[in-house]
Every structure is written in C-alpha cells, then in structure tokens.
Structure 1
Amino acid sequence: MSKLPDLEALAIFAKVAETQSFSGAAEALNLSKATVSKAVSRLEVRLGTTLLHRTSRRFALTEQGRGLAARAAQMVAEGEAAEAQALDQSMNPRGLVRLAAPMSFGISYVAPALPEFLARHPDVSIDLHLSDEVVDLVGGGFDCALRIAALPDSSLTARKLRTIKRHLVASPEYIAQRGRPQDPEELSRHSCFGYAYLPTPNTWKFRHKTDGREVMVRPHGPLRANNADALTASLLAGLGIAEQPDFFHWDDIANGRLEILLPDWELPRIDLHLVAPGGGPRPARVTALMDYLAGRFAGPLWPGDTGGKRPG
C-alpha cells in the first residue's frame, strides 16, 4: 500500500454512499459511471474488504462500508471547507502580507502610506521589513518588496514605479570652509562620505549634461555607512559631501540646509521597482497591497516633485 491514501477513491465512495447509486454519484461528480465503479473497486482492493453489495435490484453498504462512508464524508466536508477558505482568501484581501523596503524610503514614505491601506482592508495585516540590503524574497518568505536599485535578471516579476535622481550635496558651511568643486576630478581634494549600497560604492560616476563627457572618481573621507540617514548629521554639520537620492533630502535642499554641487553633471539614475516572486496567481491580499503601493509611489511624492511616472 502506498503511503498516501487514495483520496479520490474515498471521495467518490462517499458520494456513492450518499446517493445510494453509482449513476447518481457519477452525475453529481460529473464523471462516467465506469470511472465511479473502478474507483470503488480500486478502494476495495486497496483495503482488502468489500464495501458494498450491489445487484441489479439491491444496493447495501457492508458494516465496513458504513464505517468508512462516514469517515470519508467527513474527510470530503473538511476538504471542501479548506478549499472554500483558501478560495475566499485568494478572492478577498485577507491575511498577512510580508513586505520588504529600503530603510530610509520605508520610514519616510512606506510607513506613512500604510494606515490608509489598512483602513481600506481591515482583514489584512502587514509585516514590514526595513533594510537597505537586498533581501532574498523567496528564501526570506516575502510576498513583495520595494527596491531602489538596478535589477539583475531573475525569476522575480518587477514593475517600475519611478526614476530616482541622485544629487551630490553638501551644506553651505562645508562649501564656505572647503570651497565648491567645479569639476568631478576636484572631489579628490574633498571629504566625501560613502554609502555601502550604491551601485558602485567605491566609485562615483558622472556624466556631463551638455557634452556627454564621463568622469569616474574614487571618493574618500571619514564616514561610510549602510544607510543614508546615518550620513545626515555629518552632512548638516559641514563635515563632508555625499551622494543622496532626491526623495531623501528634498526638504533640506529646498530650505537651504544642503546645496546641490556640480549641477552641470549628473549621476546615474536608479529606479524604484515593485518586485514579487514569479509563478502562479497571487493572493488577493498581495495584489491589493501591490496595486496600492504602485498607485501611491508612481506619482509625485513631495512638493515640486516631477520625477514620478505612472507605470505603463
């Protein structure tokens, strides 16, 4: 006997016992009468016992058949209930969604966006994981993630939400003390902060907006971190220069606490993506959250923001 029970034959037998008829069970299950008969015979051979007596005029369950019919009917009912519950969860937003997002973007934008979603979907809960490190969605059991990075080819499905511009910034105090660089090559004489998760953390790449000239420099300075927030205090204290995304320091720039350096040069842009494991259909709770995040983050995120683009 195989280790797994013959669930199909048990379900068919339960329907035969319920309808007291092979033809009735066949009609109820949308099967042929021969298929129903073979399933019951297969079950009898497997169990080594007779489950029912049948003639052209008489249909009767044996003692073993009556006991098995009750258990089989219970099994079918539990299976139907489990399937109905799973179907309900797949059709209606309900249950836990595990979401990963970058730390600074998650605190400043994702977390403030969640109350509205949770109010719309009271049966959904969210486990929000914040880290600038690119997490393994499948291995970590995440349903979806927001990523600000160039995405390598993978089995993940990805939806681009917007382009993220990066600026070279410093405080007015730093510029007053150390001068304003006029060319990327001058950065070798300046104090530059590092961010561990840049596409090329040890090299800053610049492209001139007018003539297309490209320059690469290797920054050096007293501070390197794996989160942009950790650079803010030293930036505002006038201790150095850093690459920063537009969504993070737009307010400091608008209010004069930081200034954009080398405005004729641009750093490589990166994109905000919404990613999820590939494969079959997603539960309604995951689809609802992904659609909500896409609508929330594809448009303007702060006053004067023109970088958002609706997904195509």
Structure 2
Amino acid sequence: MSKLLWMNCFVRAVETGSFSAVARELGIGQPNVSRHIASLEKALGTRLLHRSTRLLVATQEGHRYYVQARQALDVISQAESDARGQQNPHGLLRVAGASGLGIEILVGAMPEFLSRFPDIEVEFRLSDDYIDLVAEGVDVAIRGGVLKDSALRARRVGTSERVCVASAIYLERHGMPRQPVDLLQHQCIIYTLLAGSGGWPFKGGDVHVTGRLRLNSLEGIRRAVLLDLGIGYLPTWMVAEQLRSGVLQTLLTDHATALSPINAVYSAGRLLPQRATVFIDFIAGVFAATPGLNGDSVTSLG
C-alpha cells in the first residue's frame, strides 16, 4: 500500500507540477508528499524529479517511470472497480473545452448526461487558452482542428464550420463585401486567440483583417456583431439561431474553407476510464443532433 501511495504522489506531482496541489488533493500535507516521493526514489535507486523553489520537472528516468506508473494506477483503479462489482461508469470525470462551446453545448447537455449516469461527477475546465491535459489531470478535452501532438489520441465527435457574419444594420451602413480582400475596407472584430493573429482563412489564402475592436472571447465577438460593430468570424453552431432568424447574415460563403473536425482528445499514455468513454459517446450524439456541429453546411441553416 505504501508504494502505491508513493507512486500516486509522484504521478500527481508530475501532472500538477506542485507538491502542495498533491497534498490538497490527497489530504496528507505537503511534507508527507515530499517524503513519499523521496522514499520512492530511494526504493528505485534513482532521482525522479528535479526540484526547485518554483518548478518540479521529471528527470529522464522519471518521465519513463511516470508513463508506466500512470498506466499501472489506471489498471489498478479499474480492477478495484470490477472487483467491487461496479459495472456502471463512476467517479470524477475532468473535461476541458473552449469556454463558448463548453457553456452553450457541453454544460447544456449535462442534465441528460448526469441523469443517465448517476455515479459520475463532472468537473469542467473551460478556457479558450490551451490546457495541458497531463499537467491539469484532465481525462478528455473537446478541441477543434487536426491533432498534432503525438502524445495524445483523438476521436472525431463532430465537425465545425466558421463563417463571416454581420448584422443587417452594419451591412446597410458599410456595404456587402464581395471578395475576401474587401474585408480590408471593413471593421473586422479580431479574435486575439486565433492562430495567425488576425488572419482569416479563405480558399484563396488568408486575409489579415483589421478592426478597432479586439476580444479574446468568441461570445464577446458574437455580442459585438449583434451590436452592429463589425464583421465577425465565428463557428456556425454559435450563430445558428441568429442565421435562421435572419438577425445575422453570412458573407463570402463561396470562399469559405473546408469544414474542421472537432475531436475528443485524451492522453495516449493513460488507460481511458469507462466514465470518459461513455462521455465521448454521449457528446458525439449531442453534436450529431446540433446544427453547425454535425457537418451541415451553413446554407442549411438559413
């Protein structure tokens, strides 16, 4: 039992980068966490962590041990559940996602999910910033785009399209852009977290738009577009209702790029718990029934 505790302390120290965070999580006090990891290093005869006043970094040996220890702890947890006869998915599920998608879609789907799986608890980490799944102890993240990190695995759960949108009042005042380059003559609302820093992608290449208003929130951009402040570049699921009602209009759809995948992403080095598997299946079903996330073209939303 002691070695399992030592192992758990080490794994969570690597994942959180903090002895104090592990102490709070396990309720054992920071000095105990340090002693347990020191005991594990002594038993293995090698240093697992480089310690400083500000950082905890796994050594080369520590990183190798972490990968195998994480898998071992996952297997033990599953074996204990099976031995107890806990066939239903259970436990705490940590999910990361963009704030807009999380608030409007993921959280909105929770009444049904929590009712269907009463033994699962869900903790969301919603942010438009990149979240390190391992460091944050996240089981699964919902992310758009193509997976590039070989340390992660992904399952496609939906498809998203981004389009240029504006209000009728804005277009009456400033005119309708006919070509992507025409956007250079318009007030474009800039999403500061978009890769490319203002470059909006089109079939013919990126257009580096400008505007007087910059936001780090897609919800904020939608609000600004509805206030007639300019043209926004937004996912169709976020403006599907306004497009159907005619409050907003799509622009330059003949020049739009291909649809982008939305993936459920998880660590390749961890056993995916059953609670995460059923969550991914559930969210895939939610996205399949949601306009703008199920592969429908924006033209079908009008």
Task: Report the TM-score range of the alignment, normalised by the length of the smaller protein.
Answer: 0.5 to 0.7
Gap change, CA 1:225 and 1:304, over 3 Å in 2? closer
Secondary structure at the counterpart of residue 176 of structure 2: coil
TM-aligned CA deviation for residue 295 of structure 1: 2.5
Where in structure 2 are the equivalents of 1:70-149 lying within 5 Å? 84-85=80-81, 87-88=83-84, 91-149=87-145
Say if 1:162 and 1:307, in contact at 8 Å, map to a contact too.
no
| Structure 2 match to 1:279 | 269
State the distance in 2 between where 1:285 and 1:244 align.
31
TM-aligned CA deviation for residue 165 of structure 1: 0.8
Gap change, CA 1:306 and 1:282, over 3 Å in 2? closer
CA RMSD of aligned residues (A): 2.7
| Structure 2 match to 1:228 | 218
State the distance in 1 between where 2:181 and 2:283 align.
40
Say if 2:159 and 2:295, in contact at 8 Å, map to a contact too.
no
Gap change, CA 1:218 and 1:159, over 3 Å in 2? same
Q: TM-score normalised to the size of structure 2?
A: 0.67
- State whether structure 2 residue 191 is matched by structure 1 residue 195: yes
Q: TM-score normalised to the size of structure 1?
A: 0.65
State the distance in 1 between where 2:237 and 2:280 align.
20
TM-aligned CA deviation for residue 280 of structure 1: 4.6
State the distance in 1 between where 2:78 and 2:90 align.
15
- State whether structure 2 residue 291 is matched by structure 1 residue 302: yes
The CA deviation string for residues 236-277 of structure 1, in whole angstroms up to 9 with x for no partner, is 121111111010001111111111111321135322110111
State the distance in 2 between where 1:181 and 1:246 align.
19
Gap change, CA 1:281 and 1:189, over 3 Å in 2? same
| Structure 2 match to 1:259 | 249
Whose Rg is larger?
1
Unaligned runs of 5+ in 2: 4-75, 298-302
TM-aligned CA deviation for residue 286 of structure 1: 2.0
Gap change, CA 1:275 and 1:305, over 3 Å in 2? closer
Say if 1:185 and 1:215, in contact at 8 Å, map to a contact too.
no
TM-aligned CA deviation for residue 190 of structure 1: 0.6
Unaligned runs of 5+ in 1: 5-79, 208-213
Gap change, CA 1:83 and 1:257, over 3 Å in 2? closer
State the distance in 2 between where 1:219 and 1:247 align.
23
The one-letter code matched in structure 2 to 1:217 is V
Percent sequence identity is: 32
Gap change, CA 1:198 and 1:94, over 3 Å in 2? same
The one-letter code matched in structure 2 to 1:165 is E
Say if 1:166 and 1:268, in contact at 8 Å, map to a contact too.
no
State the distance in 2 between where 1:293 and 1:304 align.
11
